[in-house]
């Protein structure tokens, strides 16, 4: 990484002059200067492998990896070659091809629950379509989601994403909270919120709403709160209870998919959902998502069926080519073992330093994804994650970023590594983490 300037106190300083200039130009035509509210207004020129370069010439080890999408690393040569060849065909959107079938078959072979497959573009679209299918299958309107879970940008998904605990009711029986203005107020009539890792609360909810709930959707690992792991038997109990109440169980594997195992979290934890949605790592950063599940459910969305399933860009040809090349590399599990091992080593190194400095810091990790929490309690659900020290994380993040490791400023965002991250990257990340922890201790 490029040498950083330093202040008198030894802290690293990034030059961001060009990004600041661009931001001033951007905000006149783009609200906030970004096209997603989850991005910071730093502008980049290129990416390769595990590294990023911004417009000011700063080089970073990338620990966001396109929000978890670049599991192989940026500009993977096999993926890029496949995309270039796909572009040469002239095929883009609006038509089916042998490649569409080929990638669908790859997913059918890899994902335990994928009896049938349909493509979409984004995770939000895939979730929305899965919920429509579940409602058609059951004739019910309501669905259950986990507090703190993010499943997209549409109305029903914008309930209790990261609510203020002070207004969200008791932890064991949280109240639904709208995510912001513009969300339909009556959305709360059809969305029921439960805490993660709490089977008793789920059982009480299903009993109280017997015959009214179409589906339950959850991330098997809550990466949209950083990284919250399911406790022993939690997912198996969720499966048992949803079966008991004839509720369609939907796994949101948009981030867990292909990272935790070739077949996703459902393979790793040996729990079979009725439907699942996949995106991100499916095509190493190219825009593609998929809805998969039981044949009787998926058949409801066929042409002439009960559920409209449309989209001009569904299965865009270049994205399918990227997916085909990516899935071929993911099917034997070696990529997953590499990223899992790397985050395990990072967690051990961070914990050792945090203990040395007597700091309540911990790194939760799974499938190459991770988050650092400044918290001395177990991270078991949204409330425990939200109780982490935000100010300490921001101080940690400031030093890590200035040291040349690209991470997000949110204390409950997920981070990760790719197959392209090697030993030199590991050393650089550890050095940045140590610097961040020392800054927190000194502050």
Which residue in 280, 340, 373, 381 is the catalytic one?
Answer: 280
Beta pairing class for 275-278 and 248-253: parallel
Active site residue 280: yes
Whole-angstrom CA distances from 211 to 146, 186, 201, 234, 291 are 19, 20, 17, 23, 25
Q: What is the 3-state secondary structure (H, E, C) of the chain?
A: CCCCEECCCCCEECCCHHHHHHHHHHCCCCHHHCCCCCCCCCCEEEEEECEEEECCCCEEEECCCHHHCCCCCECCHHHHHHHHHHHHCCCCCCCCCHHHHHHHHHHHHHCCCCCEEEEECCHHHHHHHHHHHHHHHHCCCEEEEECCCCCCCCHHHHECCCCCCCCCCCCCCCCCCECCCCCCHHHHHCEEEECCCCHHHHHHHHHHCCCCEEEEEECCCEHHHCCECCCCCHHHHHHHHHHHCCCEEEEEECCCCCCCCCCCHHHHCCCCCCEEEECHHHHCCCCCEEEEECHHHHHHHCCCCCCCCCCCCCCCHHHHHHHHHHHHHHCCCHHHHHHHHHHHHHHHHHHHHHHHCCCCEEEEEECCEEEEEECCCCCCCHHHHHCCCHHHHHHHHHHHHHCCEECCCCCCCCEECCCCCCHHHHHHHHHHHHHHHHHHHHC
Contact (Cβ atoms closer than 8 angstroms) between residue 309 and residue 234: no
Enumerate the β-bridge partners of residue 6.
12
Q: Which of 56, 62, 129, 150 is catalytic?
A: 150
∠ CA 110-115-121, rounded to 5°? 75
Residue 355: other Cβ atoms inside 10 A: 10
Catalytic residue among 252, 274, 381, 425: 252
User: Can you tell me the distance from the alpha carbon of 68 to that of 155, in angstroms, rounded to the nearest whole number?
Assistant: 24
Cα separation values, 173 from 144, 167, 169, 202, 230, Å: 13, 12, 7, 9, 18
56 is catalytic: no
**Residues classed as catalytic:** 150, 252, 280
């Amino acid at each position: 990484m490029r040498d950083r300037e330093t202040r008198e106190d030894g802290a690293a300083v990034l030059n961001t002059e060009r990004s600041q200039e661009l931001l001033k130009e951007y905000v006149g035509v783009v609200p906030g200067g970004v096209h997603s509210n989850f991005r910071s207004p730093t502008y980049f020129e290129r990416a390769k492998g595990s590294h990023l370069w911004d417009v000011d010439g700063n080089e970073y080890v990338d620990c966001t990896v396109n929000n978890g999408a670049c599991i192989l690393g940026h500009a993977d040569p096999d993926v890029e070659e496949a995309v270039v060849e796909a572009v040469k065909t002239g095929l883009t959107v609006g038509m089916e091809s042998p490649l569409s079938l080929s990638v669908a078959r790859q997913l059918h072979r890899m994902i335990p629950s994928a009896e049938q497959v349909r493509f979409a573009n984004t995770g939000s679209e895939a979730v929305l379509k899965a919920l429509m299918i579940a409602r058609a299958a059951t004739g019910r309107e309501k669905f259950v989601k986990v507090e703190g879970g993010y499943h997209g940008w549409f109305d029903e998904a914008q309930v209790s994403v990261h609510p203020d605990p002070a207004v969200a009711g008791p932890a064991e029986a949280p109240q639904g909270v709208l995510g912001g203005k513009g969300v339909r107020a009556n959305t709360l009539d059809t969305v029921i919120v439960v805490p993660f890792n709490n089977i008793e609360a789920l059982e009480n909810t299903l009993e109280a709403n017997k015959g009214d709930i179409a589906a339950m959707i959850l991330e098997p690992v809550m990466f949209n709160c950083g990284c919250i792991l399911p406790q022993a038997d939690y997912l198996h109990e969720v499966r048992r209870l949803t079966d008991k109440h004839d509720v369609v169980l939907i796994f949101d594997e948009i981030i867990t998919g292909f990272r935790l195992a070739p077949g996703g979290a459902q393979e790793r934890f040996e729990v079979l959902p009725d439907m699942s949605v996949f995106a991100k790592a499916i095509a190493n950063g190219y825009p593609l998502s998929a809805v998969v599940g039981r044949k009787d459910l998926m058949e409801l969305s066929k042409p002439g069926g009960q559920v409209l399933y449309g989209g001009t860009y569904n299965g865009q040809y270049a994205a399918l080519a990227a997916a085909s090349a990516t899935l071929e590399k993911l099917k034997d599990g070696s990529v997953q073992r590499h990223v899992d091992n790397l985050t395990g080593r990072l967690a051990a190194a961070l914990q050792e330093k945090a203990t040395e400095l007597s700091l309540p810091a911990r790194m939760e990790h799974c499938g190459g994804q991770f988050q650092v929490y400044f918290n001395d309690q177990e991270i078991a659900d949204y409330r425990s994650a939200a109780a982490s020290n935000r100010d300490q994380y921001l101080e940690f993040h400031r030093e890590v970023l200035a040291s040349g490791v690209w991470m997000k400023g949110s204390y409950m965002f997920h981070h990760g590594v790719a197959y392209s991250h090697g030993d030199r990257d590991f050393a650089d990340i550890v050095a940045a983490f140590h610097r961040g922890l020392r800054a927190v201790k000194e502050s």
